[in-house]
C-alpha cells in the first residue's frame, strides 16, 4: 500500500533529521570557542587558561574619551561595560573606528588587562539612519 | 484538484503569470534603483556604502528562502514521489545559488570600507559560505547522479543538513560573537533601519523577488518543454 511506504519514508526522514541535528550539535560543542569570532573583556577576565603566545581577537566598544594617539601608536580601551582591556596598536585604523563604536582587535594579550593589536577591525551595529536622524537622536539624549 | 497538477494546465497558467511578471519587472527595478541610488539618504556613519545593503539584504533573503523552498519540494518528492516537483527545485536551485554568491560578494565589497577587511571567518560569513556549498552539492546531485531514485536520496540528505544550516545562519549573530552585525529587521523586535532607508530596501526586495519569479517561470517552462520532447517517463 502507498500509505505504508510513505510512513516508512517519513520515519527514515525523521531519524535522519534527529541524527543530523545531534551530529551538528556535537560538532559545535567540540568547536565551541573556535566559533566565537572574538572574546569580550569579561570572558578574558573569567577564563583560567590564557595563552599569551596565541593570536586571539577581543571585541567590544571603544570607551568614550579613551583614545590616545601619538605619531607611533594609538592606545584605547575596549569595554563591554563591565570589564576593560587596554589596547595598543600601531598602524592605520578603519574609517569607522571611533569612540563609542564597536571594535574588534586581533593580536596577543600581554596580560589580562593589556592587549597588543596587530590588526583593528571596526564593527558596525545594526542601526542604519541618515545624519539628520542621528543629530535629532543626539539632541534627545542631551 | 487533479486539473491544477496537470502539466499542460500549469504550463498555460505559468505563461500568463510570466507575461504579467515581465511587465511589472522593469518598472519595479527602475523605481527600486532610483530610490536606492538617488532618493535615499547617506548613512550617518557609513556614507554611501549603505546603498550596498539594498542589494545585499534581498540577495541574502532570496538565497535563504530559495534553499528552504528547494528543500521543501525535495523532501515532498522523497516522501510522496511527486515527479512534477523535481522541475520546481531544478528550476529554483541555480537562482538561489546565484543570489547566494551575490550576497557574499556584495557583503565583501561592503566589509572592506566598513570593517576594514574583505572577509572574516565569523559564524555568519562562514555559514553563508557553507550554504553556497550545499547549493552546489544539491545541483550536482540532480545533475550528475543518473538514477532518479538515488538522486532524490542525495538531495534529501543535503536538504536536511542544509535546513539545519539555514537555522544556524539565522541565529549565528545571536548565539556567537561575530563581526557581522545582528539583524536589523526581524519579526521578534523593532526594526533598526530608518524609515527613509526602509523604503528603498522594501522596493528592492520586491523587485528582486519579482526577478526571481520571472527567471524561475522561464526556467520551469523550458524544462517542461524539454521533458515533453523526451517523453515524461525519462524524468
Note the pLDDT of residue B4. 63
N residues, chain A:
142
User: For residue B3, what pLDDT band results from cuts at 50, 70 and 90?
Assistant: low
Contact check, Cβ <8 Å, B115/A121: yes
Contact check, Cβ <8 Å, B193/A128: yes
Q: How far is CA B187 from the centre of its chain?
A: 19
Half-sphere exposure of residue B234: CA atoms within 13 angstroms, side-chain side: 8
What CA–CA distance (Å, rounded) separates A33 from A10?
36
Contacting B with CB below 8 Å, chain A residues are 6, 9-10, 13, 16-17, 20-21, 24, 35-40, 59, 93-98, 101, 104, 119-134
Residue of A121, A126, A131, A138 to mutate for B, most B C-beta atoms under 10 A: A126
Question: Looking at the DSSP assignment, which residues form a beta bridge with residue A69?
Answer: A74
Mean pLDDT of B149-166: 94
Report whether A37 contacts B123 (CB < 8 A).
yes
Note the pLDDT of residue B143. 92
Report whether B205 contacts B211 (CB < 8 A).
no
Q: Where are the domains of chain B?
A: 49-234
CA distances (Å), B37 to each of B34, B51, B135, B158, in order? 5, 7, 31, 38
* φ and ψ of A103, to 5 deg: -145, 150
Q: Which residues of B touch A25 (CB under 8 A)?
A: none
Nearest to B7 by CA among B78, B95, B86: B86
Residue with cell string 594579550: A109
Please, where are the H alpha helices in B176-194?
none
Note the pLDDT of residue B231. 63
Average pLDDT, chain B: 91
**B183: closest CA of chain A, how far (Å):** 6
Note the pLDDT of residue B235. 46
Prediction pTM value: 0.90
**B96: closest CA of chain A, how far (Å):** 23
Report whether B73 contacts B96 (CB < 8 A).
no
Note the pLDDT of residue B233. 53
What CA–CA distance (Å, rounded) separates B22 from B25?
5
CB atoms within 10 A of CB B38: 9
What CA–CA distance (Å, rounded) separates B152 from B175?
33
Closest-CA residue of chain B to A101: B45
Residue-level pLDDT, tens digit, chain A, 142 residues = 568 888 999 999 999 999 999 999 999 888 877 888 999 999 888 887 777 888 899 999 999 888 888 888 899 999 998 899 999 999 888 888 888 889 999 999 988 889 999 999 999 888 888 888 888 877 776 6
B98 burial class (0-12, 13-18, 19+ CB within 10 angstroms)?
Answer: middle
Contact check, Cβ <8 Å, B197/A129: yes
Residue with cell string 520532447: B229
pLDDT tens-digit map of B64-112? 999 999 999 999 999 988 877 888 999 999 999 999 999 999 999 999 9
For residue B129, what is its C-alpha cell?
A: 559560505
For residue A73, what is its C-alpha cell?
A: 601608536
Question: Looking at the DSSP assignment, which residues form a beta bridge with residue A107?
Answer: A56, A117
Torsion sign over Cα A23, A27, A32, A36: negative
CB atoms within 10 A of CB A111: 10
Note the pLDDT of residue B1. 52
Note the pLDDT of residue B85. 87
pLDDT tens-digit map of B41-51? 888 888 888 99
What CA–CA distance (Å, rounded) separates B232 from B148?
13
Report whether B197 contacts B50 (CB < 8 A).
yes
* φ and ψ of B74, to 5 deg: -65, -45
pLDDT > 90: percent of chain B:
69
Amino acid at each position: 500500500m502507498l500509505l505504508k511506504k510513505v510512513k516508512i519514508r517519513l520515519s527514515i526522514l525523521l531519524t535522519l533529521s534527529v541524527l543530523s541535528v545531534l551530529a551538528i550539535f556535537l560538532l559545535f560543542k567540540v568547536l565551541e570557542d573556535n566559533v566565537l569570532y572574538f572574546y569580550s573583556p569579561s570572558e578574558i577576565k573569567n577564563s583560567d587558561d590564557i595563552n599569551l603566545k596565541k593570536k586571539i581577537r577581543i571585541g567590544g566598544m571603544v570607551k568614550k574619551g579613551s583614545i590616545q594617539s601619538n605619531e607611533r601608536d594609538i592606545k584605547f580601551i575596549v569595554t563591554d561595560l563591565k570589564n576593560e582591556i587596554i589596547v595598543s596598536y600601531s598602524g592605520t585604523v578603519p574609517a569607522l573606528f571611533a569612540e563609542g563604536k564597536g571594535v574588534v582587535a586581533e593580536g596577543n594579550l600581554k596580560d589580562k588587562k593589556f592587549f597588543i593589536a596587530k590588526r583593528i577591525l571596526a564593527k558596525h551595529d545594526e542601526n542604519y539612519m541618515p545624519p539628520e536622524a542621528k543629530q535629532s537622536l543626539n539632541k534627545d539624549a542631551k | 484538484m487533479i486539473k491544477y497538477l496537470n502539466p499542460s494546465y500549469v504550463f498555460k497558467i505559468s505563461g500568463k503569470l510570466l507575461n504579467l511578471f515581465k511587465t511589472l519587472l522593469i518598472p519595479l527595478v527602475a523605481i527600486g534603483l532610483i530610490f536606492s541610488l538617488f532618493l535615499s539618504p547617506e548613512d550617518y556613519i557609513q556614507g554611501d556604502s549603505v546603498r550596498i545593503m539594498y542589494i545585499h539584504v534581498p540577495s541574502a533573503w532570496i538565497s535563504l528562502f530559495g534553499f528552504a523552498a528547494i528543500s521543501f519540494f525535495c523532501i515532498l518528492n522523497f516522501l510522496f514521489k511527486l515527479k512534477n516537483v523535481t522541475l520546481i527545485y531544478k528550476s529554483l536551485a541555480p537562482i538561489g545559488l546565484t543570489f547566494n554568491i551575490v550576497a557574499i560578494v556584495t557583503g565583501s565589497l561592503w566589509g572592506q570600507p566598513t570593517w576594514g577587511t574583505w572577509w572574516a571567518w565569523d559564524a555568519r560569513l562562514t555559514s553563508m559560505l557553507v550554504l553556497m556549498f550545499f547549493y552546489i552539492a544539491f545541483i550536482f546531485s540532480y545533475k550528475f547522479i543518473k538514477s532518479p531514485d538515488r538522486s532524490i536520496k542525495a538531495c534529501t540528505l543535503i536538504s536536511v543538513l542544509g535546513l539545519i544550516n539555514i537555522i544556524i545562519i539565522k541565529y549565528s549573530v545571536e548565539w556567537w560573537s561575530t563581526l557581522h552585525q545582528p539583524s536589523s529587521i526581524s519579526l521578534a523586535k523593532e526594526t533598526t533601519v530608518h524609515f527613509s532607508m526602509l523604503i528603498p530596501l522594501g522596493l528592492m526586495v520586491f523587485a528582486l523577488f519579482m526577478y526571481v519569479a520571472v527567471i524561475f517561470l522561464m526556467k520551469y517552462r523550458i524544462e517542461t518543454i524539454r521533458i515533453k520532447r523526451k517523453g515524461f517517463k525519462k524524468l
